[in-house]
Copies of this chain bind each other. A is one copy, B any other.
Amino acid sequence: MSYDTAFLADVLPPEQVTTGDSARDSHAADWGAQQAGEGVTPDAVVYPESTEDVADVLAAANERGVPVTPYAAGTSMEGNAVPAFAGISLDLMRMNEVHEVRPDDFQVDVGPGVMGSAVDEAVEGHGMFFPPLPSSGNISTIGGMIANDASGMQTVKYGEVADWVLEVEAVTAAGEVFTAGSKAKKTSAGYNLKDLLVGSEGTLAVVTRATLELAGLPEQIRGGRAVFPSLDDAAEAVFDAVRSGVDVAKIELIDETAGAMAAAYQGSDLPEAAMIFVEFHANHGIEEEIAFCRSVFEAHDVESFEIAGDEEMDALWKAREELAYAVQTYDPDLTPLHPGDITVPVSKLSEVIRYAKELGAEHDLLVPCFGHAGDGNVHYSVLADPDDEEMVARGEEVYAAIVERAIEMGGTATGEHGIGTGKREYLEREHGPVAVDLMRRVKGAFDPKDTLNPGKVFPETAEAGGRVTLPTDD
């Protein structure tokens, strides 16, 4: 179905509205939907330049019941930013201003279209950085990170995006502007709407400005690569390092398959072996920390643990950051089905990885695993030939079984990419019907007409009108 969006001509000037095919098509895909071949084309794309623009578009669309799906850099993995029911794609990339740096408070105010790496560039002169940036920080926006409660390699030491967003300005579906959170470091004044908005995937309100907290750059940064005889040894070494209190800033696990793919993509000499990439941040005593970590790795039969020079370190992290591309391009006949992630309690890390690898082997499928192992967070893909229906079906089965196992272990269906459309079916299995019903009621409280990013997060869609069923208040 499509919606009449002609009213937008009365809301924004012509250079901020388009119904051209190329813009509409480019807003019908994100990283995940691109690979899964899903995505509905919006009827129009708008480019707000201010909070007022956002409010005007939302109010006008809400009045008419036209869906609005926020969009930014399009790097989401679960279809989060792709319209499920056409309507308007709200492209926030022009709201990319770094408004104010307040170094005395370790704070910066930014627009939702600011790239993650641009935040770091804006504050590094003050000796500061934004710690929870995801690996895709140079191609993804703060707005998207907030929408999905993103996190990344440094989350093991510093926490996730939610922990570093102090306050947001946002616009409701009806076009009302409000702020949530506080510029104070802590508050217990009323309900925590800020953390309710973070991770709500643009279904409750549209964030138009965010106050981010910053950390001081550490004086010492060192890191390196450890190679293990088996994936089990490496996973157990990660667990033991975290369990023993080794103060790591990053601790990434890469399995043999992912290692081979990274080597092929980069043309590097990365071994086809289970590896840990690790980084330490300290103001003093970094050598003691490295020695402590080495003793833990040695207890798990580490084959080598080499501390890298600056250049080698950059190459290592580049290899890790580009793993998603490496997986995607490894074999031209194979496509990753739903690249995604699960997270389990860290004691279950090696068990869930072993399960994923064995299941892949049993079904004769490549299942590269890597990720932020210190948090119990595993990224995995199941590769299949999209033209081979049987292989795709096998792959889907393996993919789903791994998510289900993670939930059984007390973990989550999605550690940092949200639910989108890709993981709707797991929401209730993870949280149970009462909690999901409460979520639906919260959605209804914020967006009673279901115009904001409809079709996301919640499992079912209504028959009539194709929108989420919202409960009434009684």
Contact = CB atoms under 8 A, between A and B. Distances in A.
Nearest to A470: B473
A126 to B, nearest CB: 10
A318 interface: no
A190 B439 contact: yes
A22 interface: no
A247 B283 contact: yes
Contacts of A375: 184-186
A381 interface: no
A200 B190 CA distance: 7
Interface stretch (A32-40, A221-229, A272-280, A443-451): A443-451
Nearest to A128: B245
B184 A411 contact: yes
A469 interface: no
A426 interface: yes
Interface stretch (A61-69, A84-92, A100-108, A388-396): A100-108
A434 B343 contact: no
B416 A179 contact: no
B445 A183 contact: no
A270 interface: no
A105 B242 CA distance: 9
A125 interface: no
A430 B105 CA distance: 19
A179 B441 contact: no
Contact of A473 (B191, B196, B419, B448): B448
Contacts of A104: 239, 243, 346-347
A262 to B, nearest CB: 24
Given A191-B196, A431-B180, A438 B347 contact: no
A193 interface: yes
Interface in A253-296: 282-285, 288-289, 292
A155 interface: yes
Copies of this protein in the assembly total: 2
A412 interface: yes
A260 to B, nearest CB: 28
Interface residues of A, number: 92
A435 interface: yes
Nearest to A216: B245
A446 B438 contact: yes
Most B CB contacts (10 A, CB to CB) among A186, A188, A345 go to A188
A159 B159 CA distance: 11
A376 B376 CA distance: 33
Given A196-B191, A438-B446, A473-B448, A182 B411 contact: yes
A457 B415 contact: no
A415 B343 CA distance: 32
B415 A107 contact: no
A328 interface: no
Interface string A137-149: 0000000000011
A463 B417 CA distance: 46
Interface stretch (A23-31, A170-178, A301-309, A358-366): A170-178
B186 A438 contact: no
Contacts of A414: 187-189
Nearest to A430: B189
A266 to B, nearest CB: 28
18 contacts: A105-B345, A105-B347, A150-B188, A160-B186, A162-B192, A178-B438, A180-B431, A184-B415, A186-B375, A188-B417, A189-B414, A189-B427, A189-B430, A192-B200, A196-B196, A283-B292, A472-B473, A473-B473
Interface of A: 102, 104-107, 148-151, 155, 159-160, 162-163, 172, 176-180, 182-193, 195-196, 198-200, 204, 216, 239, 243-245, 247, 282-285, 288-289, 292, 343-347, 375-377, 406, 410-419, 423, 426-427, 430-432, 434-436, 438-439, 441-446, 448, 457, 472-474
Task: Give the top 3 A-B pairs by smallest Cβ distance, nearest first.
Answer: A285-B285, A187-B412, A441-B445
